[in-house]
Each structure stands twice: as structure tokens, then as C-alpha cells.
Structure 1
Amino acid sequence: MKDYAVGSVNFSPAFVGLSLAVSMTSAATFVINPGLIAMYGWSGVLSFGLFFPLATLVSLVVLTKSFRKYGQSVKAISLAQWIGTRYNSKVYLLFMGLLSILLITFIVLILVAITKVLSKGIAADEIWVLAAVVVFVFGYMMFGGANSLVYTNSIQAIVMLLVAVILLGSGYEHLKDGVDEFWKSLASINPLLTKNVNAESPLFRDFFEIAFTQTVVGIAVVIQPHIITKSLFLKKENDVNRFLLTAILAEILFFSVVIVGLYARLTFPELQVDGVALNTDDIIPSYVIQIFNQGWFSVIVGLVVILGLLSAGFSTLEGLIQSLSTSWTTDIIKPIFGRFIPNEQSYFRINKGMVVLLAFVSFLMAWNQLINPKLSVAILAQNGVYAYFSVAFVPVIMGIFTNVNNWKLPFSASMVALITHFGIYYILPWLIKTSGLYLGWATPYLQGEVRNPAIASSMAISLSSLVGLVLYLREARKIKKYQLSNEFS
């Protein structure tokens, strides 16, 4: 199980860095987020292409080194195990293991994105494509684990780097007359597409949503099992800097791809193809088919781009399958049923069963997203993933930067984050709708069918961090008082 989770091979730090980059990027960066930017314009570029990446990359550097040092010393193979071991609490370990179920929503996003790209490329029924993808990817991830993951991710990363360059260059026709003309063309479709904020958007209405929430979320997004545990693949401490440099350089290019959403809007000004309205998640796959279908060379390039979009999905999907199945096996099954399980080999067989269960649940949820689309599958994914790392943020930060051992302190902050996130996203909107509750400036963020999960997450992280800080200072004061009392005695 340890080999499956963190590998038994002495990996090159560059390979692990590329594996981290593609795990962080996912189909959201290449397919889903550019679709939202095609809908709402430059405000989305600022949110997904500037504030979020900047916060994420800084957080990655700061947290990775510290997390790795403690992760190595306790031999943790999952984030839940890291937290449980750090605070010597089986309750906390089980709590975080159960909460990792929320990350299924991210798997669903990636499955939907891959299905959209493939079904457009080969003109096949989406449900059959989804079924084939689930069987294929979950099937091979039952066996390979981390050892195969790093190498497949590295190959995918090379393809994605090439495709990122191709996609960024695909807007040449729109940019050849200069940025001013490019801007005027966007403004002629809708002036809001060129504004720093878009009041008609449910995600980019003001700088609170664009800058503050995305910065907070960007800092905390690193605290996901398939991201922060990647540094544990390295066997040598002096490999960490090369690992981070490789990941950051690749990530800068990958995050830039969201600009393609603006190219797509100029290609489909009315967001229609042959008179049929495009769903948000269909925009980028349709753009690729439209741009790269003229002449044999263009078609070959188009196939490479489709391969890159699929790689963006498969890379993160593999990481999620590997980390989630590992967490369920070691953090849920082992603590509860460990006394009935005879040996280590049994856990590996159980892990395969967890992959099958994960495949079944993910297929049903992705199928529902395909037949009942809303604004974007991104809303579902963000709600689940953001809730998870909002809860994990304080225990990881407190575990890295303080010597607190009392698990009840970070656990209290985690509960505050969980209640705050889902309370803001579900309960407050329901109260506003049913009882006319008015919450001043916050009310508009909590209304409408589509709400921004980053609002709930940033508030959950901020409030839980405040609670964690207050509890930490109180604990530190008690310890100091106790020490002074002993010295006096």
C-alpha cells in the first residue's frame, strides 16, 4: 500500500515536478475555466489567470517544503494520515478520511470534460464515451499506483506543454491586428467582456469575488491529497527545489491557457454552432473542432490538441483515483475494520475494491451532469473540493508552523470551516428565499440558482483561521502560565 501511495522508485525530481504540475492543472484549466471566460470575459481571466495562480504558486512553495519534512518523519501516505499522526488522533484521521469523499466532485468534473472533448472529436454518444473512459482509466489505476503515475504524468505533461503553446498561438488571427483591435472586437460583442468586473456574471461580479476569494482559495487549494502529498514521492531532500522549479514553470504556462476562452468567444460571438446554443462546458471542445479542421496539417495539430486536452484530464484523474482510494483504504477501512484484516496484501485487494466503488459512484454523478447540465460542472466540483480543503487548511497550517499537539484545537477550526462553508452555500440562501432574510452587502452573493462556491470557501477559511488563531493563542498562554508556575515553584 505504501508503494501504491507514494511509490518505490527513486524518481527524478523533474518527473515528479511535471507530475505535480499536471495534477494541479486538470481539465478545469484547459477546458472548463476557459469556457467560463468565453461566457464572461476579461474578469474571468483576472480571477482564474492572475489572482488564483499567483496565490497557488506562492502557497505551493511555502507549504510543500514544511509538509514534506513532517510527512517524511511520520511516513504518512495520505493527507488524512498526516493530520491524524500529527495530532495523534484516530478520530481526526477518520474524520478527514470520510471527508475526502467530497473530492469525488472533482473526478466528476474531469470525467465530464474528457467526455465532452472525446465525444466532439469522434462524434459519439456522450454516455457511451463516459462509460469507456471510466472503465479504461479506473481499470489501469487499480494496479499501477504511484510508480506508473509519475511516468504517465510526465508524458502527459510534455504533451500538455506543447498543446498549451498551440492553443495560445491559435488566437493569432484575432491578435494579428494588435491588442487594441482584439479588445474592440470583444467589446463589440458585449462591452462587459472587456471590463475588469462583470456584474452579469455569477462568479466575477466585483473584486471581492475576483481577487479576495480567489486569493484565499488559491492559498488553500494546495492542501489537497493529490497535490500536497506529491513531494513525498521524492527520496532526497536536495531534490525539492528542482521539483518545485519544474512544477512552477510548467504551471505558469498551463494557467495562461485560460486566455483561449477569449479566442473562443470571438469565434462563437453568439455562443452558438449552426444555430444551436453551446453549453459552457462545450465551448472549448467546439472551438478546437472548429479551428483545427481545415487541411490535413490542421487536422493533425487538432488531434494533438485533443490529445493534450485528454492528458489534462487523465493526469489529474489518475492522481485523484490513486489518492482517494488510498485514503479510503488506509484512513477509513483500516481504523474501523483493521482487526478483521489478516495482512498487508489484503489491504491492496481492498484498495482495488475501493477503485471499483469510486468508478461506479463517479460514473453515476457524471452521467447526471451530462443529462442535466446547469451553468457548468465546475460549480459542483468547486463546491465539493473547496469544502474539503477549507476544512483541511487550519490543521495543516497549525501542524506545520506550530507545536500544538492537542487535536481538539484544529478540529474545532475544521468543524467551523465545514459548517460555515455549507451553511453559506445552502442554508443562508434557503433562509433568504423562504423568510426574506437580509444580510446587507452579502445578500446578492447568496441569491440565484448558480452561486459562487469560492464565496463560501473563502469565508469558511477566514473564519476557521480566526478561530484556530484564537484557540492557539489561548493554549499558548495556558502553557506559558503553567511553565511560569513550575519555575516559581
Structure 2
Amino acid sequence: MASQELVTAGWVLITLYLIMTLWFVIRGARSTKSIADYAVGSIAFSPVAVGLSLAASMTSAATFIINPGFVAYYGISGIISMAIMLPLGALISLVIFTKGFKKVGNAIKALTMAQWIGARYNNKAFATFFAFLSLLLITFVVLICVGLTKVLSGMLNTPETYTLLAIVAVIFGYMMFGGANSMVYTNMIQALLMIIVAVVLLTSGLDHFRDGINGFMDKLAAIDPLLVKPLNEQSPLFRDLFEVVFCQIVVGIAIVCQPHIITKSLLLKSDGDVNKFLVTGIVVEVLFFFVVAAGLYARIAFPDLTIAGETIGVDGIISAYVVQEFTVAVGLLVIMGLISAGISTLEGLIQSLSTTVTADILLPVFFKNRKENVPVPEVFINRLVIVGLALLAFFFSYRQLMAPDLSVGIFAQNGVYAYFSAAFIPVLFGTFVKNVRLIVPVAGAITAVVVHFSVYYGRLTPYMQEGVRNPGVAAALAICSSVLVSLLIHAVVRTRNNAPSKTTVNA
């Protein structure tokens, strides 16, 4: 329970935060005249600003709010998995993919991931398939909404249901107007605040190191010896090297193939800006990924994972730690950083999802046969789509608040991992291979979706036999299967006929 002083100060700070955000939204809305302006902006952005926007979007409420809870529950194995192995794959992949993706995206004038894939392979049906598949990202939206609800309700002492309703109404409401023109600037401010908060969280437990690293480890081991082991065989996510190392690196490599991450490069107006953009994003991102280590401090603060006799869930660990351990001033700063971590990614998801549904599903269906001189109300339709996404987000978020499967993180990973597992081969081949038959990316995408959901829901492999299943295992197997199938088909097709045909795509 937050003190009255924290509650009052929290309301003041939230109000100021919203006023600042709305100022940027209004400023951006004035420059948003079309769906293209909403998707990639009409303003020339600084590469540093876009890099900070990338870091803010790539690091979400999962990294700052949810994942530290896993570390508090399962210890060092969670840090190795989520702060070292996954970022290793993700950041290397980001560098490799960005320049090629931007080059192709600029050439075909793509606004969304689905458009990029459809134009690259010259197939509208394939684009539509990915547009519908992108709806899986609503699970990530739910994760962020739940994370924000936990933090805000803890700070303001408000009921979770009403807090969730306010979050969805406000954030989805202002995202109906600004789009990319305002999002880059709000993300930049959010990233700067997140940098400060990351440093505060990572240094908040320095007192525990008075006797060195060994002394810190001894404190954790006294609570539970498994907390200091690199593998935690009693956890549902970090049991062995396959889960902690292999799966996380594979998932990390493919994780950049999400619309709100990889399409950030399309905001850059010049190819010369790419290096500054990448350096800024990667340096800041490394700091953000290590924030999960604060979960160890939280476990020392709550050794039995309870507060006032009640068990603290995975999703509520970090907010409980902040409210109990920090002064009002520092606690407010940290909470605003946690909120920024969620809002920054939520804005990116709303922008990319609504643009995809509008431009790649609704407009091609309902305005396919319009006359050239008949204007299409693109921006208005996009706003209606955002209203629909808000209703879906509230419904699923409410369910996760009432009955989570250990953590909303599991729910989100299952949907998001399925999406980027399917997107990996189309992006990989579309970026780096010049002559690709359509069957190659199609087979790869379908294989990934089928394998992922078959492994997860069919409880295939020994890793899927527990009550809580690890979506990372399903995703890693899906990605590997997709790569093998696609390479095999590509090799067979090239052997049979090296000559391009009408279903061959040339970069």
C-alpha cells in the first residue's frame, strides 16, 4: 500500500506527464495528413532520436516490469537468459538486418511489415496473410497494459480494473492522432527517463555488495541455493542450457522481425544516418536489458516472496520493491521510468498494428474498386481500428489480471514469438537473397506457425509437460524448422531450374 504522500505526488506527476505527451501529440497530429504520415512520419528525424525511439520501443514493460519478477523468482539463471543470451542474438541480428531491410523498404515504399513482405515477393495474398498474423501482437499489448496497471495501481492505490480502463482509454485515445510524427519525440523523452531509472534500479542494491560479489551471492543462497545457480532445474523457463542459451539466442536473432522494431529504420531519411541510429540504439539497449538484475534486489527485500502475508506474483514484484524500498521522490522517478518503458512500446505497437489493419486489410478489401478521384478516409478508418484494438486490449488484459498463467509474460510470449518466428524467413531471404521463389518464404512462414503452436498446445517435447510451458522452446524449434524447410526447398528449386520465372522475385 503506497503512502498518501506518494499517491498525491503520483497524481501530480501523471498529470504533468500527460500534458507533455498531449503537447507532442497535437504537434504531430498537425503534420499527419495520411496513413503514410501516420506510419513513417513526414518529419526528418535525427538518427539519435530514432535510435532512442528504437531502444524505448524494443525495451518494454516486459524488460522493466515483468522480467525482473522472473529473476526474483528464479535467480541468476534468469539474468543469463534474459540479459545476456537473448540480447546477444537480438543486437547482432539488428545490425545485420537493419541496412538491408531499410534499402529494400525504401525501394518499394513500404509502410508496414506486411507491405514490405508483399511487395518484396510480389504477392498480395502473402501480404494479407502477414497482416492477419500481426494480430498476434495484441498479446504483447496485453502484457504492457497489465504491467502498467500493476505499477500505477500500486502507486495510486486505485482498483486494478479502473486503472486498466483509464490506461487503455488515454493511451489508445491519443495514439489515434499523432502517429510517427509525435511518437519519435515521446519515445525519445521516455528513453531518456528510462536511462536514468535503469541506473537508479541497478545501483539501488549496491549496499548488498559490501562484502563483494561473494557476499551478495551468499545472501541469495541463504534464501534459496537455486537462486545462485546458472541453471534452475525447478523453474519452468531456465532449466538447462537448451532453454537458457540455445533457445534464447535463436529467439533473440528472430525477435527483431517485429513491426515496431525493424521498421524503425524506415523513419530515417538518409542511409548515412543508419550507423548513428544503430550505435545509439544498441548502447542504450544493453543498459536496459540489464535492468532485470533488479529482480535479485527485490528477492532479498522479499525473501519469501510475500508482503503483509500475501504472496507477490511475478508481475507485481518490481512495483512492490519500488514502493517499499525507495523514498517518495526517488520512487516517483522510478515509477515514471517503468511507466515510460511500457508506454513507449505500447505506442509503437498501436501505431504499427493499426497501420497494418488499416492499410493491409481494410483498405484493400473495402476500397479495392474505388474510382481514382474518390478520396479514401484513411486516417478516420485508422482511428476506428485503434478503438477496436483498445476494446480487445481491455478484454484480454482484464482476463490476465484476474487469472494469469504464472505471468502475463507467458501469454504475451506465446503470441509474439509465433509472429516473429513466421516473419524470420521472409525477412531473411527478402533482405539477403536475390532470387527467391515465392514457395520458399511461404513454406517457411507456415512451417513456423504450425510447429510453434503444435509444440506449445500439443505439449510436444519433454519441455512442454509442466503446467507452465516455455514459449521460447516452441519458438526456437519453430524457427529452426522454418530455416531447414526453407533452405531445403530453395536448394531443390535452384537445382531444378536456375532461371527466374514469373513467381521469382529479384532484389
State whether TM-score is above 0.5. Answer: yes
Q: 2:331 is aligned with what amino acid?
A: G
Question: 1:344 Cα deviation (Å)?
Answer: 5.2
Give the corresponding residue for 1:425.
456
Alignment partner, residue 410 of structure 1: 441
Post-superposition offset of 1:478: 2.6
Matched, 1:149 2:183: yes
Query: How far does the alpha carbon of each residue in 1:128-175 deviate from its partner, in whole angstroms, 9 at most, with x for none?
Result: 000000010000000000000000000000100000000001102212
Quick one: distance in 2 between partners of 1:233 and 1:481? 36
Residue number in structure 2 paired with 1:35: 69
Which of 360, 363, 368 is matched with 2:399 structurally? 368
Contact 1:186 1:266 in 2 (8 A): yes
CA displacement at 1:176 relative to structure 2: 2.3
Q: Partner residue of 1:113?
A: 147
Aligned match for 1:181, one of 208, 215, 240 = 215
Q: Distance in 2 between matches of 1:86 and 1:62?
A: 18
2:45 and 2:268 in contact (8 A); partners too: yes
Which residue does 1:288 correspond to in 2? Answer: 322
In structure 2, the partner of 1:308 is 337
Q: Which runs of 5+ in 1 are unaligned?
A: 293-297, 430-441, 484-489
Instruction: Name the structure where helix makes up a greater proportion of residues.
Output: 1
Matches within 5 A, 1:365-404: 365-404=396-435
Structure 2 letter corresponding to 1:319? G
Q: Which residue of 1 aligns with 2:469?
A: 451
Measured against aligned partners, the alpha-carbon deviations of 1:94-130 in whole angstroms (never above 9, x if no partner) come to: 0000001100000000000000000000111000000
- Residue of structure 2 equivalent to 1:6: 40
Q: Which residue in the other structure is 2:14 paired with?
A: none
Q: What displacement does 1:405 show?
A: 4.2
Does the CA contact (< 8 Å) of 1:187 and 1:193 recur in 2?
yes
Structure 2 residue 483 is the aligned partner of structure 1 residue 465: yes
Q: What is the CA–CA distance in structure 1 between the aligned matches of 2:165 and 2:401, rounded to whole Å? A: 12
Residues of 2 paired with 1:201 and 1:372: CA distance?
Answer: 20
Secondary structure, in 3 states, of the residue corresponding to 1:150? helix
User: 1:139 is matched by which residue type in structure 2?
Assistant: G
Deviation (angstroms), 1:299: 1.1
Q: Partner residue of 1:86?
A: 120
Aligned to 1:331: 360
Q: Which secondary structure does the structure 2 equivalent of 1:104 belong to?
A: helix
Q: Deviations over 1:51-70 (max 9, x none)?
A: 00111100000001110000
1:268-287 pair list within 5 angstroms: 268-287=302-321
Question: Cα gap change, 1:476/1:324 in structure 2, threshold over 3 Å: closer, same or farther?
Answer: same
Letter in 1 for 2:181: N
Distance change (3 Å), C-alpha of 1:304 and 1:402: same
Supply the AA of the counterpart residue of 2:498: K
Q: Is the 8 A contact 1:46 1:196 kept in 2?
A: yes
In 2, distance between residues paired with 1:27 and 1:255? Answer: 11
Q: Which amino acid aligns with 2:490?
A: Y
> Is 1:350 aligned to residue 381 of structure 2?
yes
Contact 2:251 2:475 in 1 (8 A): yes
Letter in 1 for 2:429: M
| Mapped partners of 1:481, 1:252: distance in 2 | 45
Q: Please state how far the C-alpha of 1:301 moved relative to its aligned partner.
A: 1.0
Task: Look up the equivalent residue of 2:366 and give its one-letter code.
Answer: F
Give per-residue Cα distances to partners, 1:13-37, cap 9 Å, x unaligned: 0000000001000010001001001
> How many residues align structurally?
465
Structure 2 match to 1:159: 193
What TM-score, normalized to structure 2? 0.90
The match for 1:213 among 231, 243, 247 is: 247
Q: 1:258 to 1:73 in 2, by over 3 A?
A: same
DSSP-derived class of the 1:480 partner: coil
The DSSP-based 3-state class of the residue aligned with 1:138 is helix
Q: Which residue of 2 aligns with 1:236?
A: 270
Distance in 1 between residues matched to 2:188 and 2:448, nearest whole Å: 35
1:55-100 CA-to-partner distances (Å, cap 9, x unmatched) read: 1100000001110000000000000100000001011000000001
**Structural RMSD (CA):** 1.3
1:11-160 aligned at under 5 Å gives the runs: 11-160=45-194
TM-superposed CA distance for 1:408, in Å, is: 2.0
Give how far 1:318 is off. 0.1
Quote the Cα distance in structure 2 between the aligned partners of 1:228 and 1:113.
24
* AA partner of residue 354 (structure 1): V
Instruction: Please tell me whether the aligned partners of residues 68 and 295 of structure 2 are also in contact (alpha carbons under 8 angstroms).
Output: yes
Residue aligned with 2:368, SS = helix
Aligned-partner Cα distance in 2 for 1:200–1:371: 25
Letter in 2 for 1:323: S
CA deviation string 1:286-333 (max 9, x = no partner): 0000111xxxxx211110100000000000000000000000011111
Residues of 2 paired with 1:40 and 1:341: CA distance?
57
Identify the range of structure 1 (368-377 vs 99-108) with the bigger mean alpha-carbon deviation.
Answer: 368-377
Distance 1:376 1:204 in 2: 15
Displacement of 1:474 in angstroms is 1.6
Contact 1:280 1:376 in 2 (8 A): yes
Query: What is the SS of the residue equivalent to 1:339?
Result: coil
Closer/same/farther in 2, CA of residues 475 and 176 from structure 1, 3 Å limit: same
Contact 2:38 2:179 in 1 (8 A): yes
Query: Match for 1:223 among 257, 281, 285?
Result: 257
Q: Matched residue of 2:59: which SS?
A: helix
Equivalent AA in structure 1 for residue 66 of structure 2: I
In 2, the alpha carbon distance for the partners of 1:306 and 1:177 equals 29
Which digits, 9 at most, give the CA deviation of each residue in 1:388-425, with x for residues without a partner? 00001101101111123432221011111110000000
In structure 1, distance between residues paired with 2:209 and 2:202:
11
Give the direction of change, closer, same or farther, for the CA distance of 1:355–1:344 in structure 2 (3 Å limit): farther
Shift of 1:340: 5.8
Where do 4+ consecutive residues of structure 1 move more than 4 Å?
A: 340-345
When normalised by structure 1's length, the TM-score is: 0.93
